[in-house]
A and B are shown apart, each in its own frame.
Chain A
Amino acid sequence: MNKDSVATAPRHMGGSHLSNYPRFLWRMLVMATEGNWLFYAWMIVLTAVALVGANAWAVQVTQGMGVTHMTDHVSWGLYIANFTFMVGLAAGGVMMVIPAYLYHDKDMHDIVIIGELLAIAAIIMCIAFVVVDLGRPDRFWHLIPGIGKFNFPISMLTWDVIVLNGYLLLNLHICGYLLYHRYLGKQPHPRWYVPFVFISIAWAISIHTVTAFLYQGLGGRPFWNTALLAPRFLTSAFVSGPAFIILALEAIRYLSKYKVGDGAIRILVNIMRITILINLLMLISEIFTEFYTGGSHTASAKYLYFGLHGYNALVPWIWTSIALSLSATIVLLSPKVTEHPQLLITACILAFAAIWIEKGMGLIIPGFIPSTLHEMVEYLPNSLEWRVTAGIWAMGLMIYTLAIRIAMPIFSGEVSLEKDQHPHV
């Protein structure tokens, strides 16, 4: 059926790609700068926050990273915590792709691009979080294979560079291809995107696995040195990803005229019901192993959950996370959650916040406390780190908002080449 429609696609419609593609790009730019007052207000707020973040980062590069609260003892902080979480969010987008392409779910197929665009925005945020964590961002070119020195395959960070950029390119290609063809009014040819969709499913798993391997391969950090880390990363990603997508879908429902099928949301809720339980199960398994075994290997877990030697900066964070996680589980498991949008939104916010703490500060910081020589030096981010982080979040939300702002009219057929060429027909 697809083949036929491609074969018979009217060629007179648009002329060559050489003229159509620039036209498509221009149309996207125009769409990106148009909207109602709410859109403008939202974009102005995000721009302002992003600029504050950019300024904070500029100060950090100029004066050195000593302006943060990181130390030689806790040498990664809020940035890498957010990076880790964002990789999960990017991977989580795949939870729409699997039902849409593997199980041919109709509702999901219509809006799968929402998940793919989330992957793009999240990966760009990941890269930004890595860049702001570099002491010498000006030497970024050292990481480029060919002209720099790329310690592949031994350094897991080089793997991460490959998988993150690869995932970004895959999703840019899929989204770009689909949008362009929708704009042209042509049926997308499966050969040019279906294989990439399948690769992207495996790739989504790989980005979070490789990111977990960054940490879990370090023998000197017992808190991370557990085989359960990668599976935990994945399950938590499949909680936070769908949670964020549900929030985005609800926002689209309320703030725009586009239809979002209940079926898609129901599938995402069902996914979350399972993943959030598996995530809790793995957490229990991890906690059991740590505390039943005991010994100095447990020091970081003790510090995280109960405080150690009078230091307990992370204790409120992690218990908040556990409380949020449990509440979200209870709400999600109630059979009628899909019928009450407010309840669902609350559950998604709770789950999202819980994973943000658990996979962010709750994972990165205790890896460093106590230090490898068992020194107790605590860490809480300072205002500069919060500003830079907020700036990157604002940038990511801006990208995501714009992407949806562009994608929805094209996907719904509201904007197309034909309509652009013949506005009064």
Chain B
Amino acid sequence: MNKENQESGSISRRTLIKGTGAMLGAAAFAKAMAPLTEWASHQSMDEFLQQHYRELDEEEMQKVLRRLEEETRRDYGVEVTITDHKPEKGVKFGYALNLSICVGCRKCAQACHRENNHDRASGNSYIQVLEMKKGSLDLENGTVNYSGPVPKKDAFYMPVQCQQCDAPPCVDVCPVEATWKEPDGIVAVDYNWCIGCRYCEAACPYHARRFNWAKPQIPAEDINPAQSYLSNRLRPQGVMEKCTYCLHRTREGRLPACLEACPTGARVFGNVLDPKSEIRWVLENKRVFVLKEELGTKPSFFYFFDE
């Protein structure tokens, strides 16, 4: 009898200790996760539940665009217009770059940085300019960390950006179809659908993709207010982004920012389906090549040398 009492007493004491332990554990867990719960309370439910870009109808898209404009106003203190530029029928974009006249001034990279609302501190850009040794096309002999004055005698310069591949490895690997090929050839990203696994960044052979390691920081007065859903709107933290051939410009018929910034005219842009276009002339009359052709990515970005 006595022994049983003791046992039940020890059991209830043990239960009490267990209960206290569990409570302490739960409290410690809540404390540990506090930054996350705080963060979660600032996330909008509409954004959380938003459907994939290609599932949104016109009306839903308009709602999303207004919400994004509102968020930009709230977070950056600036009025912007976000449009959903659609591809045009009969247009497929092509880009060519004349390596004989590129001088390596990096003005294209700088223009990209400004046009596409990149984080200011990182100096990010979708374009990397390689200084290559004359006589070699092996990227191992190139460097991005060169300084002036340029061009140097024994070097040529090769800007590399998204090649808008027709067989894009980044699109194949994406587990959630957050990146896809648009009818005009642009490989687009839905920044509101991407889960940030960075598989595409590993798959891209051209170092064309960038990850938003933090929320981009830009002073209000530096923000380019003419924005598009699939291109230069301010990206959320933790998602992938990439060059879109400035689709917010090019789908309006304008030239991409990197081309306008090029002082030598090394860049040629246009509709490859238009036989009278300049890009077609280059493709037909210059001996063009693509980067890493052996990988079978079928780039829509071409390089050539004069003579």
Interface residues of chain A, those whose CB is within 8 Å of chain B, are 33-34, 47, 51-52, 54-55, 57-59, 61-66, 70-73, 75-76, 130, 133-140, 142-143, 148-151, 154-158, 161, 214-215, 218-221, 296, 299, 367-368, 370-375
- In the complex, the 9 A-B pairs of residues with the closest C-beta atoms, listed nearest first: A135-B196, A220-B205, A135-B238, A66-B213, A64-B214, A58-B36, A55-B32, A157-B175, A66-B214
Evaluate whether A149 and B193 lie within 8 angstroms (CB atoms) in the complex, with A143-B176, A368-B202, A373-B144 already known.
yes
Per-residue A-contact encoding for B83-113, CB less than 8 Å = 1, 0 else: 0000000000000000000000000000000
Q: Is the CB of B237 within 8 A of A374?
A: no
CA–CA, A177 to B201, complex, Å?
42
Q: Is the CB of A156 within 8 A of B173?
A: yes
Q: Is the CB of A51 within 8 A of B139?
A: no
Give the distance to chain A from B30, nearest Cβ to Cβ, in Å. 10
Number of interface residues of B (CB under 8 A): 64
Evaluate whether A133 and B197 lie within 8 angstroms (CB atoms) in the complex, with A62-B39, A371-B207, A374-B142 already known.
yes
B18 in contact (CB, < 8 A): yes
CA–CA, A331 to B215, complex, Å?
52
CA–CA, A385 to B204, complex, Å?
25
| Shortest Cβ distance from A34 into B: residue | B14
Q: Is the CB of B195 within 8 A of A373?
A: no
Contacts of B43 in A (CB 8 A): 138
CA–CA, A72 to B196, complex, Å?
12
Q: Is the CB of A75 within 8 A of B201?
A: yes
Q: Is the CB of A221 within 8 A of B173?
A: no
Evaluate whether A151 and B140 lie within 8 angstroms (CB atoms) in the complex, with A64-B215, A135-B196, A372-B207 already known.
no
Q: Is the CB of A52 within 8 A of B207?
A: no
Evaluate whether A143 and B175 lie within 8 angstroms (CB atoms) in the complex, with A58-B34, A75-B211, A373-B144 already known.
yes
Contacts of B28 in A (CB 8 A): 47, 51
B304 in contact (CB, < 8 A): no
Q: Is the CB of A64 within 8 A of B237?
A: yes
Contacts of B207 in A (CB 8 A): 72-73, 371-373, 375
Q: Is the CB of A65 within 8 A of B238?
A: yes
B169 in contact (CB, < 8 A): yes
Contacts of A148 in B (CB 8 A): 176
CA–CA, A75 to B240, complex, Å?
11
Q: Is the CB of B33 within 8 A of A136?
A: no
Given A76-B198, A149-B177, A299-B140; 5 other pairs, CB 8 A cutoff: A62-B35, A72-B213, A135-B211, A136-B194, A154-B172
- Show 8 A/B contacts (Cβ-Cβ < 8 Å), sorted by A: A54-B29, A55-B35, A58-B39, A72-B210, A135-B195, A135-B237, A138-B43, A151-B176
| Shortest Cβ distance from B25 into A: residue | A47
CA–CA, A133 to B43, complex, Å?
20
Contact among A161, A370, A375 for B175, CB-based, below 8 A: A161
Contact among A64, A66, A215, A372 for B204, CB-based, below 8 A: A372
Give the distance to chain A from B210, nearest Cβ to Cβ, in Å. 5
Q: Is the CB of B193 within 8 A of A135?
A: no
Contact among A64, A133, A218 for B213, CB-based, below 8 A: A64
| Shortest Cβ distance from A33 into B: residue | B18
CA–CA, A156 to B200, complex, Å?
12
Evaluate whether A220 and B169 lie within 8 angstroms (CB atoms) in the complex, with A139-B195, A372-B206 already known.
yes
Q: Is the CB of A72 within 8 A of B201?
A: yes
Contacts of A72 in B (CB 8 A): 201, 207, 209-211, 213
CA–CA, A219 to B293, complex, Å?
11
| Shortest Cβ distance from A48 into B: residue | B28
Give the distance to chain B from A150, nearest Cβ to Cβ, in Å. 7
B155-211 residues at the A interface, CB under 8 angstroms: 160, 169, 172-178, 193-199, 201-207, 209-211
Give the distance to chain A from B231, nearest Cβ to Cβ, in Å. 19
Contacts of B130 in A (CB 8 A): 373
CA–CA, A375 to B146, complex, Å?
12
B292 in contact (CB, < 8 A): yes
CA–CA, A372 to B128, complex, Å?
12
Give the distance to chain B from A192, nearest Cβ to Cβ, in Å. 33
B154 in contact (CB, < 8 A): no
Residue from B40, B144, B211, B214 with most neighbouring chain A CB atoms (10 Å): B211
B239 in contact (CB, < 8 A): yes
Evaluate whether A52 and B32 lie within 8 angstroms (CB atoms) in the complex, with A62-B38, A373-B139 already known.
yes
Q: Is the CB of B195 within 8 A of A151?
A: no
Q: Is the CB of A149 within 8 A of B215?
A: no
Give the distance to chain A from B241, nearest Cβ to Cβ, in Å. 10
Contacts of A139 in B (CB 8 A): 48, 176, 193-196
B208-267 residues at the A interface, CB under 8 angstroms: 209-215, 236-240
Evaluate whether A158 and B175 lie within 8 angstroms (CB atoms) in the complex, with A59-B35, A219-B295 already known.
yes
Give the distance to chain A from B27, nearest Cβ to Cβ, in Å. 10
